[in-house]
């Protein structure tokens, strides 16, 4: 546990969108507009908020990055001095990003294990073979669908640690991520009728305030009881409120990015060139050519017209409910939520409200989230939805780009390396096969957006399986040191059975505490390769991946250890596109010694059924 978390959560639970001078009129929260009235920003570069924040974050990553690199033990290079020199001469520290894929609870738990492995707050995470500090070295953390649940849940709790949630035995944190209570059942301790009444009242209040609603509103509210606040789902928690957190303002955490996709009116199939939206604590919008604009997230429910709020218009806050943002990125799960009519105890008033919503939006729109369109009338020559007052967004993985890499490829963000955690279920046996990587590569090759760095070459899905690239880490975008690449190195980290068969269905909505912890543990082992038991040089290779682009920029000779790592983990262009047999991987950590060693310093070595260190050996 992190000291002081209970105090932090007390503050976190008070993060309401209610501000001084707020007035609720007709169900809407009307607030005084700031002196600089909110307006739409042309996406000609990063926002002023982000450009002002980045130097602070860069400075805050130095100590953690030096620690990670020193522990990586890269011979032939004094990494501490190297980082100090980069800082002193201003040639640019390595910029790190982490992307957590979609895939429901499986992706959340697999990603949670990876983040726990990367977090220097996790017990023993800075010991030999571990990767603690990588999270503190990162500048960006993106999530999509199930990955957005993980990112959003951590940030609305003031960027608490995975360990703090999993091992809390009392207080608010201990009631989060209790997946043995299905989203259909509601949290333990809350009467099911009361639970559903609260869902209904929250969505009905939004509808009464004049906003268009969809099934995503119910889904987002239900999701919030597991990820935000089990007592009432945190109806007043907003994603934009993260921008006011003391630690985030001081750049003590990476910039969170949630990904969704725009589905224009009448469009049923999501095209590969669809406009990809991002939510960050300051804005929502897109750098893509179908929009090229951003709106201030806090005031997104206001009556924007032609890019501004009229002088006699009012500012409206609170539409960016944190659960609704996470639900928007995972709207694919609306289909699962529609099974609610088969659940015992669901009151008729809720089923009737859902049926009315379905009747209003039509069957083809079951996967959408309706947002008030702040881009109404703005830049109609580019903006595909300039003529509608509703902005329809869908699950961020519906274009097959199930790893949220897109916002991290923006050239102006200058990302050097992306750790891509893939918890997708692409194969018949529900393991990844690189489909998300191929989809992002294809979009890059189509040159949909001129703002993006080029995505590195990747092979087809059959090659991923045939060459085993979907069950071990692989680097994409390596160079021989003689040329300067235009985009980041991708460290692909696929879900694989290190210590547990974690290929659970995307639509499994219920897990025991033991299953949850085993899948998180497996994600920890996946990220660390069993704490170095599979490859003792893995932490060194992580360090080399962090430095890869910087070594090229500074014309520094590649250390021998890094050359060995690149030879071992970089995809060398080999392909095998024959149709593979059914993919049924064996468990990677196969003996008691390996499993005990990899578990001995897991997310926590002191709690969870007395002594989790030996659980995997039983």
pLDDT digits (tens, 9 = 90+) for 364-379: 566 789 999 999 999 9
The separation between CA 381 and the C-alpha centre of its own chain, rounded to angstroms, equals 32
Which of 89-93, 190-194, 497-501 comes out lowest in average pLDDT? 89-93
pLDDT digits (tens, 9 = 90+) for 119-155: 999 999 999 889 999 999 999 999 999 999 999 999 9
Q: What is the mean pLDDT of residues 452-479?
A: 96
pTM here is 0.91
CB 471 within 8 A of CB 585: yes
The predicted pLDDT at position 505 comes to 93
pLDDT over 80 (residue 8): no
pLDDT digits (tens, 9 = 90+) for 467-489: 999 999 999 999 865 566 779 99
| Residue 51: strand, helix, or coil | helix
The predicted pLDDT at position 361 comes to 55
pLDDT over 80 (residue 593): no
pLDDT digits (tens, 9 = 90+) for 74-84: 999 999 999 99
Element (H, E) at 55: helix 48-72
The predicted pLDDT at position 311 comes to 85
Q: How confident is the model at residue 363 (pLDDT cuts 50, 70, 90)?
A: low
pLDDT digits (tens, 9 = 90+) for 375-433: 999 999 999 889 999 999 999 998 999 999 999 999 999 999 999 999 999 999 999 99
CA torsion through residues 302, 308, 311, 312, sign: negative
Better pLDDT: 346 or 573: 573
The predicted pLDDT at position 69 comes to 97
Tell me the pLDDT of the chain averaged across its residues.
87
pLDDT digits (tens, 9 = 90+) for 230-254: 999 998 899 999 999 999 999 999 9
The predicted pLDDT at position 286 comes to 97
d(CA 215, CA 370): 9
The predicted pLDDT at position 265 comes to 58
pLDDT over 90 (residue 332): no
The predicted pLDDT at position 357 comes to 65
Tell me the sheet residues that pair with 96: 138, 417
Locate the domains of the chain by residue range: 5-617
pLDDT over 70 (residue 338): no
CA dihedral 196, 201, 202, 204 (to 10 degrees): 120
The predicted pLDDT at position 269 comes to 62
pLDDT digits (tens, 9 = 90+) for 521-556: 999 999 999 999 999 999 999 999 999 999 999 999
The predicted pLDDT at position 447 comes to 92
d(CA 74, CA 173): 38
| Alpha-carbon distances of 350 from 114, 193, 203, 338, 355, rounded to whole Å | 37, 10, 10, 11, 9
pLDDT over 50 (residue 217): yes
Report the percent of the chain where pLDDT is more than 90: 71
- Just give the CATH number of 5-617: 3.40.1090.10
The predicted pLDDT at position 25 comes to 37
Better pLDDT: 482 or 199: 199
Which of 265-274, 410-419, 449-458 comes out lowest in average pLDDT? 265-274
The predicted pLDDT at position 20 comes to 30
pLDDT digits (tens, 9 = 90+) for 512-523: 999 999 999 999
β-pairing, 138-144 vs 96-100, is parallel
| Residue 363: strand, helix, or coil | helix
Tell me the sheet residues that pair with 474: 492
The predicted pLDDT at position 125 comes to 96
Q: For the chain, how far is it from start to end, CA to CA, in angstroms?
A: 25
| Alpha-carbon distances of 265 from 386, 392, 425, 496, rounded to whole Å | 11, 8, 29, 39
């Amino acid at each position: 546990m992190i000291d002081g978390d209970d105090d932090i959560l007390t503050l976190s639970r008070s993060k309401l969108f209610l501000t001084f001078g707020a007035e609720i009129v007709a169900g809407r929260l009307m607030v005084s507009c700031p002196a600089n009235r909110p307006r739409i920003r042309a996406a000609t570069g990063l926002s002023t908020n982000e450009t002002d924040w980045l130097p602070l974050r860069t400075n805050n990553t130095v100590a953690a990055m030096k620690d990670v690199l020193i522990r990586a033990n890269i011979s032939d290079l004094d990494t501490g001095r190297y980082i100090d020199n980069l800082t002193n001469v201003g040639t640019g520290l390595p910029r790190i990003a982490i992307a957590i894929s979609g895939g429901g609870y499986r992706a959340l738990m697999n990603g949670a294990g990876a983040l726990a492995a990367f977090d220097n707050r996790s017990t023993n995470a800075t010991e030999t073979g571990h990767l603690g500090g990588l999270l503190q070295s990162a500048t960006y953390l993106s999530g999509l669908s199930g990955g957005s649940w993980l990112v959003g849940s951590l940030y609305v709790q003031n960027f608490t640690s995975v360990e703090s949630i999993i091992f809390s035995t009392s207080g608010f944190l201990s009631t989060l991520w209790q997946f043995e209570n299905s989203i259909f059942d509601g949290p333990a301790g809350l009467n099911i009728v009361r639970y559903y009444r609260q869902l209904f009242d929250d969505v009905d209040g939004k509808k009464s305030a004049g906003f268009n609603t969809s099934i995503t509103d119910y889904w987002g509210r239900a999701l919030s009881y597991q990820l935000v606040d089990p007592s009432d789902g945190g109806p007043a928690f907003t994603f934009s409120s993260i921008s006011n957190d003391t630690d985030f303002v001081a750049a003590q955490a990476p910039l969170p990015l949630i990904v969704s996709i725009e589905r224009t009116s009448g469009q049923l199939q999501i095209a590969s060139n669809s406009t990809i939206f991002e939510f960050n604590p300051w804005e929502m919008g897109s750098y893509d050519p179908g929009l090229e604009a951003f709106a201030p997230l806090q005031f997104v429910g206001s009556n924007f017209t032609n890019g501004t709020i009229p002088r006699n218009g009012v500012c409206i806050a609170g539409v960016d409910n944190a659960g609704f943002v996470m639900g928007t990125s995972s709207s694919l799960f609306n289909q699962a939520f529609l099974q609610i009519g088969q659940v015992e105890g669901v009151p008729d008033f809720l089923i009737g409200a859902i049926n009315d919503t379905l009747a209003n939006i039509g069957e083809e729109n079951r996967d959408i989230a309706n947002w008030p369109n702040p881009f109404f009338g703005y830049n109609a020559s580019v903006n595909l939805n300039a003529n509608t007052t509703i902005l329809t967004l869908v699950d961020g993985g519906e274009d097959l780009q199930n790893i949220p890499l897109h916002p991290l490829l923006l050239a102006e963000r200058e990302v050097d390396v992306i750790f891509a955690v893939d918890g997708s279920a692409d194969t018949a046996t529900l393991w990844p096969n690189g489909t998300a990587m191929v989809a992002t590569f294809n979009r890059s090759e189509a040159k949909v957006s001129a703002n993006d760095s080029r995505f590195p070459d990747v092979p087809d899905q059959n090659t991923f399986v045939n060459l085993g690239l979907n069950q071990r880490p692989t680097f994409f975008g390596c160079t021989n040191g003689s040329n300067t690449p235009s985009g980041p190195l991708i460290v692909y980290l696929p879900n694989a059975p290190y210590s547990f068969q974690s290929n659970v269905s995307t639509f499994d909505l219920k897990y025991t505490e033991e299953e949850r912890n085993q899948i998180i543990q497996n994600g920890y082992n996946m990220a660390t390769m069993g704490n170095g038991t599979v490859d003792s040089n893995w932490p060194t290779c992580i360090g080399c991946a962090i430095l890869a682009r910087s070594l090229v920029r500074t014309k520094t000779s590649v250390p021998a250890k890094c050359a060995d790592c690149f030879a071992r983990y970089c995809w060398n262009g080999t392909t095998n596109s024959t149709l593979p047999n059914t993919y049924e991987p064996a468990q990677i950590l196969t003996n008691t010694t390996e499993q005990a060693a990899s578990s001995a310093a897991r997310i926590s070595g002191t709690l969870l059924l007395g002594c989790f260190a030996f659980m995997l050996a039983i």
